[in-house]
Every structure is written in structure tokens, then in C-alpha cells.
Structure 1
């Protein structure tokens, strides 16, 4: 007779929504940093022909549209919440729903960037890579922050969490738009 383990339901709603442990987020931060470093190294060793570069450029822009578009939606709902025009639950639901497009867009940018022959000695390119790392680590922080905000869905949010949310949104917008601007400037040269 074969025994099959069945997961028991959580004891409470709180158990069902346990926050991601900090060590997991820290490990993801280290892995993300290593992936970006590896992509930078690989970009110097990948020599794409013109057709592959053209395809990579198209998919790079598509990944940017998906990732930045999702980030803009989350931050727009957050701004409306801060103005009292949306509930905290709206922003949390939006952020949870759009995590896959945000992270998928970021991953798409990383992979397609391998084939765009980035100039790894250019200060602009290095700044862009720093911004990409910042938005990646900030995204992990925003995930952690969102889980902290969950307990305030129907209550007043402490000022500390409001400030942290504003800082995370500012880093996000600065990073995404800064990387876009540098990408545009690099494409002109």
C-alpha cells in the first residue's frame, strides 16, 4: 500500500500569509547580484550577428514595456492610495498581481542585454547596470515591505511604513527611468 502525504491546511489565515523569511530574500539578493555579474561577463563573450542583435533589441524593448509598465501600474495605485483615492487593499492586490510581469520584464532585460554588445567600460553602461542592481534589490525590499503592509489592509498604516514605501517607490522610479534614459543614450552612439 502506498502512502501519500497530504498537506494540512494552515491553522489560521496568518499562517497562510507568513512573510517570506529574510534569509530567503537575502539569498535572492545574492543570487540576483551573481546573475547580473554573470550576465555582464557573458555579454563580453557573446558575439551576436546583426539579425540576432535586431531580435534582441526588439525583445529588450518588449521586456522594458512589460516590466516598467507593471511597475508604473503599481506605483500609480500607490500614489492614488496616498492621495486617499484608493484603499491599501487595492495597491496590495495590484502589486501581488503584477509581480510576475515585473520580474519577468526584468529577467527579459537581463537575457536580451547579453546580445546587445554593451560597452562594459563605459561609465554610462556601468551606471545603468548599477541602476538595474538597485531596482532588483529594491524589488526584493518592496516585496518584504508589501508583506508588512498586509496587516494594515483595514487599519491606519504607521508613518514609518509610509516613508519606507515612498523611498522604495522613489528608488524604483529613479532606477527604471534612469536605466531607460541611459539605454536610449547608449543606442544613439
Structure 2
């Protein structure tokens, strides 16, 4: 029983971690290296993460600077940024590639909040699915006479409390991200 409740907590935490990772990819009007983390560059025929072919830095709040270690990678990095779904245009000055982060419009901010809410709802569904799986496992244990009726109800209450806590965490992460997005 203890194994199931621990597994429940671990799997729910992974849902929150995934939600935070999704949020890091949402553009908030401020430069962040997380925006380019998912970009893969075609480097000598192999799709390679951007941070493995160049150093990525934030010189100011609206600029991402990418300094390739290999001069031959400039064009590949530019193409990868243009192909990405970020909607950003790279500027190559010969020494580094700069990406200016434009100020978000009110409409775009609202769209980003909608996306954040969608990600949060997906995380909540994942958390509820974990609850269902654990409760099913507990019921099987009860049916197999491995645990008593009281233990079953106690464990289910514990799982429900854990679920409620993680749903609150997801809402808190959303509120924080929403505030960050709407901040000018």
C-alpha cells in the first residue's frame, strides 16, 4: 500500500514538472534561454540540441545571444531558429547570432494565457489519471484480500488528499505564469 501511495506522489510530481517545462517554452516578452532549449540544429547531418553547438546567453532582458563554437554552424543555427515555432527572427553579425524578443501585444498575451490554461488542464488530467490508476490498484489489492476494507478507504483518502494538493500546485503554477505573461 505504501508503495502505491509513494508511486502516486512521484507520478503526480512528474506531471507538475512537465507543466513547468511546458511553461518555460511560453514566450513572456522577456528573453530566456529556455525559449531555445528545444531547438535542434542540423550539424554535420545530425539533429543536435542548440546548446551543444553554441553558447546561449542573455545580454539584456530582450535579447538572446547565441555564439556558435564552429563558424560553419552559423547558417544551420539560423535555419533552425527560422523553422522553429517561436516566430523569432535571428540577426547574424558574423560573431554571434542575436534574437530580439519583441514586446507582446495584449492579444498575444491573452493567447499565451489560454495556452497556459490548456497545459494546466492537461497536467490536471494526468494527475487525475494517476489517482484512478492507484485507486484501481488498491481495489485489486482489496479484492485479492491483501488489504482490509478500512485500509482501502484510508489509502483512497490519502490518494485523494495527494491529488487535491497537486491540483492546487498546478493552479498555483498557472497563476504565477499568468501573472508573468500579463506583466508589461
Per the TM superposition, whether the score is higher than 0.5 is: no
* Higher strand content, 1 or 2: 2
The two structures have a TM-score, normalised by structure 1, of 0.31
TM-score, normalization by structure 2: 0.31
